[in-house]
Amino acid sequence: MSTVLVIGAGGVSSVCVHKMAFNPDIFSSIHLASRTKSKCDAIAASVKERCGVDVATYEIDAEEVPAMVNLIRKVQPSLVVNLALPYQDLPIMDACLEAGVSYLDTANYEPKDEAKFEYHWQWAYHDRFKQAGIMALLGSGFDPGVTSVFTMWLKKHKLKTIRTLDILDCNGGDHGQHFATNFNPEINIREVTAPARHWENGEFVETPAMAHKVEFDFEAVGPKNMYMMYHEELESLAKFNPEMERARFWMTFGDAYITHLTVLQNVGMTSIEPIKYKGVEIIPLQFLAAVLPKPETLGETTKGNTNIGCIATGEALDGSGEKTFYIKNICSHEAAYEETGNQAVSYTTGVPAMIGSAMMVQGIWSGEGVFNMEEMDPDPFMDMLNQHGLPWTVEELDGPVEF
């Protein structure tokens, strides 16, 4: 039984808050605060309608540390769940430190003026969290999050060491829009337009964005083009699995998405450099995000499945030589919408955020300091994935992937 304070009221938060409310034996009191209170109220109304649970709502600018500290002191949660944007990670961590309350998020900190996803800003809080006797759990979404837990589960149950790792993220959903992103457009576009980076022989190797394309036949989706890109879990996976020779991240994009993105990039609409327009300073990417469909409005029209998983090759635990395993989850957009009113990209992030929170508030995962998912026992988290809407399968492949 515990009180949680969730920050942010987008698609991911909506799923997480619904799932917390469906589990009142774990989350007895849920508080939701965001920049726009009406969005919190809409989530609270949906939760009330679906399961009769009350969610308390508040307006907060999470970048205002003193206001955040006051809110935390008023609510007295055992955990603050940050489902706002990566820009708010550090101010919310500062507020948690001052109020002495543990912290969880789903995406690593990124400065507004620099498209750089790196953990070092948050890892630098380790000693202060340790001294305060509280815990921060970083990246409890799907990727990062479940992909890290999948990898560590393979390493616990199937492979002694991992030689190569490929993370394959496929969204086979069709939302019927010409161009829309399935999570926050600003964060999504910053991510896909950044140079690709993969881990090889002890260092990150940088290649141009979207330059490496491979077709892969995804179960429950079909053949799709996937592109190698940088994703933040590569940093923590490389840190906690130093034996890996190579680790790569792949994401699928349709041709129409790539064409739109190329045009938008060519005309300067994806830039994060401020420009003056009629005397007002605007950031082109933020303006673009404002005119694109809101991710939380895509749920009703999105059809199809997501398929996200890890293919790992390494030395088998049972001494039978080198083996390759593919571990994945398939999630239906329609089923996700039916259950929480949100599409599967929000669902596959919001459910692991709820599970990570459950691990922490029940003391199943504990510690003092700042931790990544790789440092925790994967088993109880994997059990909850099966029980709470993200079932997974693992199969042995004939050999390493050749792409």
Is residue 183 close enough to count as binding ligand NDP by CB under 6 A? yes
Strand partners, 305: 332
Q: Give dist(CA 61, CA 66) in Å, integer.
A: 10
Task: Give 159 or 344: the residue with its C-beta nearer to ligand NDP.
Answer: 344
Residue from the set 4, 5, 6, 13 that interacts with ligand NDP by CB under 6 A: 13
Task: Tell me the closest approach of the beta carbon of residue 245 to ligand NDP, in angstroms.
Answer: 25
Backbone φ and ψ for 113, nearest 5 degrees, come out as -95, 10
Is residue 148 close enough to count as binding ligand NDP by CB under 6 A? no
Residue from the set 4, 19, 86, 150 that interacts with ligand NDP by CB under 6 A: 86
Give residue for tokens 């699928």. Answer: 252
Residue from the set 62, 165, 285, 376 that interacts with ligand NDP by CB under 6 A: 62
* Candidate segments 56-64, 214-222, 248-256, 325-333, binder of ligand NDP by CB under 6 A: 56-64
Is residue 141 close enough to count as binding ligand NDP by CB under 6 A? yes
Residue from the set 4, 5, 6, 9 that interacts with ligand NDP by CB under 6 A: 9
- Give the start-end residues of each E strand in 92-151: 102-105, 135-138
Q: List, in order, residues 6 or more apart from 190 with CB less than 8 Å away.
A: 110, 115, 272, 285
- Residue ranges in 206-235 that form contacts with ligand NDP under rule CB under 6 A: none
Give the burial class of 104: count Cβ atoms within 10 A of its Cβ; 0-12 exposed, 13-18 middle, 19 or more buried: buried
Alpha carbons within 13 angstroms on the beta-carbon side of residue 263 total 7
Is residue 369 close enough to count as binding ligand NDP by CB under 6 A? no
Task: Give 13 or 78: the residue with its C-beta nearer to ligand NDP.
Answer: 13
Residue from the set 23, 46, 106, 372 that interacts with ligand NDP by CB under 6 A: 106
Q: Tell me how far the alpha carbon of residue 367 is from its chain's centroid.
A: 21
Task: Give 290 or 397: the residue with its C-beta nearer to ligand NDP.
Answer: 290
Residue from the set 77, 173, 284, 295 that interacts with ligand NDP by CB under 6 A: 295
Q: Give dist(CA 322, CA 287) in Å, integer.
A: 50
Q: Give dist(CA 320, CA 200) in Å, integer.
A: 25
Is residue 309 close enough to count as binding ligand NDP by CB under 6 A? no
Strand partners, 311: 166, 326
Q: List, in order, residues 6 or more apart from 332 with CB less than 8 Å away.
A: 304, 305, 344
The closest residue (CB) to ligand NDP is: 10
By the criterion CB under 6 A, which residues form the site for ligand NDP?
A: 7-13, 34-36, 39, 60-63, 83-86, 88, 106-107, 141-145, 183-184, 187, 295-296, 349
